[in-house]
Structure 1
């Protein structure tokens, strides 16, 4: 496991009924991206959540990424600051800012990386999350959505990005049994996250500010809570508002079999996904999509 991940063994006193932090990490920074979780480390602990990046950069960053493939997983991108533009044949044009979402279920294989472009803000900050898919979807059809903030439900300080929370359901076509929220708490504000009883996996990642979660969690940190169904009470620090994502899920009962950009449940599924990725890549080269400038819709 990554040496920067600290495992807690329960030495600190925790009141009955409270969720204890059992892992925490600041990940590894690579330029504008801080990788907080990968399938080979905390992804094994909190699967189906298997990968988490926190990015912060000038807005040009959104159009500078290389086109790359995925299979066997879904990607979820939310912004904690700034905005970006999307231009997609099936979703139309629009802006994704705080509270909006880009969702892509890679299924049997896609290439992407330039589907969003610079918005009106000079800089952006946000999270990209990967979610492992079950066997019936990991080599299945591709699906993608771009949903603006005004079309996303909220419950108190939380925007419901995936799943259902507080009686409000996200329009994102995600797998049942997963909840993912984008939350801002004002300075000193206390909020309690109550997961579904069957969603025993829980974690959070902080973009700005700090939280008291039994222990202090600061910006650029990700923490994992012990498995269970108890609520998690969080209080924002007094220095500034706290902006973070929090997720819970039914544990993913499958192995994580990984390629460079793919996550599957078996070697056979990975082989099928990577073969399809290679075939799509050849079609992209013949069409000239690899060299296309500006926004490029996902290629499936």
Structure 2
């Protein structure tokens, strides 16, 4: 009987998403810009705009009414809380794990829906998402989902979309995921990219993620367009971050001052509607 000699096999390296862009929050003061439709938004569409906010709660007392069309705005907090109130659209406390989704559709004015909550300060992110052509001129709406109603998958809260069989109650369009994640110090976690979600990015609120170079609070990371997983490990202080993935938006971005559409005709329609519903006293 012949005996086959054992052959040592080298471990197979699993493909991972590669970092193709790293952006540090720009600007001074409570609001720092991480992405705009005119820069990284073209690569990460339907995600087109991202601000990181770290502010005294009194900032929410200032009413800044302004319009949008063609997009949805998504507000999540990583620390502190605010009070949300849009009458028939809903009200309650927005804190860690909750979400406000404002779908502008063909045109809306907003900016007065938040007031200070019980915390002296708050931190979080506001995201703009370009709407699909079928929704960009649809009716406007708000959705408010309190933290108790957002499902958890391990350390992740499913803010939008569906992940590992858990679906957010927020009525966003298909092919879009947005997670809020907190990792304990040294903890490891892998985002298993859903099929077709070739767009992927994350932004760190506080703490650090360990990579070839640490990803720190205020950093935004864009990944290559693939379906590979995203393995992550927290530093010694842990890490809180948001992560987005999506099926790529198939249209060019046609930009207005507060609007993003799929065509010039759609933008013209949205801007016309904005003028038609302009509130009394709102600035042009």
> How would you bin the TM-score normalised by the shorter chain?
over 0.9
1:1-300 to 2 correspondence within 5 Å? Answer: 16-238=14-236, 240-281=237-278, 284-285=279-280, 290=282
Deviation string 1:205-239 (CA, Å, 9 cap, x unpaired) is: 0000110245421110001011111111000001x
Is residue 213–residue 233 contact of structure 1 (8 Å, CA) maintained in 2? no
CA drift of 1:245 comes to 0.2
Across the two proteins, how many residue pairs are aligned to each other? 271
**TM-score, normalised relative to structure 1:** 0.88
Is residue 202–residue 227 contact of structure 1 (8 Å, CA) maintained in 2? yes
Is residue 85–residue 116 contact of structure 1 (8 Å, CA) maintained in 2? yes
CA drift of 1:30 comes to 4.3
Question: 3-state DSSP class of the match of 2:135?
Answer: helix
CA distance in 1, matches of 2:91, 2:171: 19
Deviation string 1:29-69 (CA, Å, 9 cap, x unpaired) is: 14211100000111001100000000010011123251100
Q: Per the alignment, do residues 278 and 223 of structure 1 end up closer, same or farther by CA in structure 2, a change over 3 Å counting?
A: same
Q: Which protein is bigger by CA-based radius of gyration?
A: 2
Name segments (4+ residues, structure 1) moved above 3 Å. Answer: none
Backbone CA RMSD of aligned residues: 1.4
**TM-score, normalised relative to structure 2:** 0.92
CA drift of 1:195 comes to 1.5
CA drift of 1:135 comes to 1.1
Question: 3-state DSSP class of the match of 2:226?
Answer: coil
Question: 3-state DSSP class of the match of 1:141?
Answer: coil
Question: 3-state DSSP class of the match of 1:271?
Answer: helix
Q: Which moved more, 1:210-219 or 1:154-163?
A: 210-219
CA distance in 1, matches of 2:75, 2:143: 11
Deviation string 1:84-109 (CA, Å, 9 cap, x unpaired) is: 11122224431110000000100000
CA drift of 1:27 comes to 3.4
Deviation string 1:166-217 (CA, Å, 9 cap, x unpaired) is: 1100011101000000000011000000111110110000000110245421
Q: Per the alignment, do residues 273 and 102 of structure 1 end up closer, same or farther by CA in structure 2, a change over 3 Å counting?
A: same
Is residue 90–residue 143 contact of structure 2 (8 Å, CA) maintained in 1? no
Is residue 75–residue 100 contact of structure 2 (8 Å, CA) maintained in 1? yes
Is residue 25–residue 52 contact of structure 2 (8 Å, CA) maintained in 1? no
Question: 3-state DSSP class of the match of 1:244?
Answer: strand
Structure 2 residues not aligned, in runs of 5+: 1-12
